[in-house]
Amino acid sequence: MNLNTITTVKRPATANEVGEWEAGNAWLAGGTSLFSEPQPTTNTLIDLEQLGWPALQVSSDGLEIAATCRIMDIYRLKSSTEWAAGPLLRECCDALLASFKIWNAATVGGNLCLSLPAGAMISMVTALEGTLTLWARDSTPRMDSALDFVTGNHRNVLQAGELLRSIHLPATALAKRYALRRASLVKLGRSAALLIGTRGNDGDLLLTITASTPRPIQLAFGGIPTADELRRAIASAIPDDGYFDDVNGLPDYRRHLTYYFAEQIRVELAQSGSKA
């Protein structure tokens, strides 16, 4: 849609060119959210495209994803054979309610910064133990764990004008086996619950709960827990009134899915390669 409050669009070549942050500024990435509804408090868009950050960089350390990387680039990435969790990247792209137009424009950073419970890029980088690099307006970088970035529905740790620069996924996390479960009320709807379990060679189990809660919840186990231990861990991390409530699912439904999928993931990852 046309945004009739916008009077200026800036296309800086470097983030430093932006200078002091003013009320009414907004970073523009793919624009799929920004252009989907009126932005009455925004008068200036600062387009990130000209910054020219390389979308994806693979190294022995893992995967570096620029905030401006398109979801389509993640989908098309030919992952290393050493990454048992490589297919998870594509499965998370599939978990977004999106037409090909959205996929081609939407960025990983935009998905994180929008901070919706159903943000599947949030699920992906949290489950894969990502670390985020954030740039303050005075150019001081700071690191944050993906798990701590989103603090609630449409809420995150970004300060005014702070820019999400990149996400690092460590090779150790990409090498883990994984299991994903997801449900939405309608076939191509936003996720009501999206759970991902990963398991390393040391037998640990990391369970990441997203979409059913306003922000990601992660449970770490030294081995495969019993079904009862798993249920108790979820209950102590998420109170009964801690489930998200919107048109994509009632809290009771999301709570049910969370326990149901968590148990399926527990059983699946306990199977081959288990030390439990």
The yes or no reply on residue 163 touching ligand FAD (CB under 6 A) is yes
Site for ligand FAD in 59-88 (CB under 6 A): 67
Site for ligand FAD in 179-198 (CB under 6 A): 190
Q: Select the residue interacting with ligand FAD from 74, 118, 179, 238 (CB under 6 A).
A: 118
Q: What is the per-residue DSSP string for the chain?
A: ---TT--EEE--SSGGGG-S--TTEEEESS-TTGGGS--TT--EEEE-GGG---SEEEETTEEEEETT-BHHHHHH----TT-TTHHHHHHHHHTS---HHHHHH-BHHHHHHHT-TT-HHHHHHHHTT-EEEEE-TT--EEEEEHHHHEEETTEESPPTT-EEEEEEEEHHHHTSEEEEEEE-SSTTSPPSEEEEEEE-TT--EEEEEESSSSS-EEEEESSPPPHHHHHHHHHHHS-GGGS--BTTB-HHHHHHHHHHHHHHHHHHHHSTT---
Q: Select the residue interacting with ligand FAD from 109, 130, 225, 249 (CB under 6 A).
A: 109
The yes or no reply on residue 26 touching ligand FAD (CB under 6 A) is yes
The yes or no reply on residue 15 touching ligand FAD (CB under 6 A) is no
Q: Which residue is nearest to ligand FAD (CB)?
A: 110
Binding segment for ligand FAD (CB under 6 A), chosen from 7-15, 27-35, 174-182, 214-222, is: 27-35
The yes or no reply on residue 27 touching ligand FAD (CB under 6 A) is yes
Q: Select the residue interacting with ligand FAD from 96, 167, 209, 217 (CB under 6 A).
A: 96
Binding segment for ligand FAD (CB under 6 A), chosen from 15-23, 90-98, 169-177, 254-262, is: 90-98
Binding segment for ligand FAD (CB under 6 A), chosen from 102-110, 124-132, 231-239, 260-268, is: 102-110
The yes or no reply on residue 36 touching ligand FAD (CB under 6 A) is yes
Please, what is the minimum distance in Å from the beta carbon of residue 121 to ligand FAD? Answer: 6
The footprint of ligand FAD (CB under 6 A) covers 26-34, 36, 48, 67, 96-98, 102, 105-107, 109-111, 113-114, 116, 118-119, 158, 163-164, 190
